[in-house]
Amino acid sequence: DIYEHAVVLSVKIEDQDAFERDFFQLKPYYTDARNRLPQSPQEYPILGLNLLRLLVQNRIAEFHT
> Could you give the maximum distance between any two Cα atoms of the chain, in Å?
34
Domain residue extents for the chain: 1-64
Q: What percent of the chain has pLDDT over 70?
A: 100
What length does the chain have?
65
Q: What pLDDT was estimated at residue 27?
A: 93
Give the CA count within 13 Å in the CB-facing half-sphere of 26: 22
pLDDT of residue 35 exceeding 90: no
Q: Is the pTM of this model over 0.95?
A: no
Give the C-alpha separation, 38 to 12, whole Å: 26
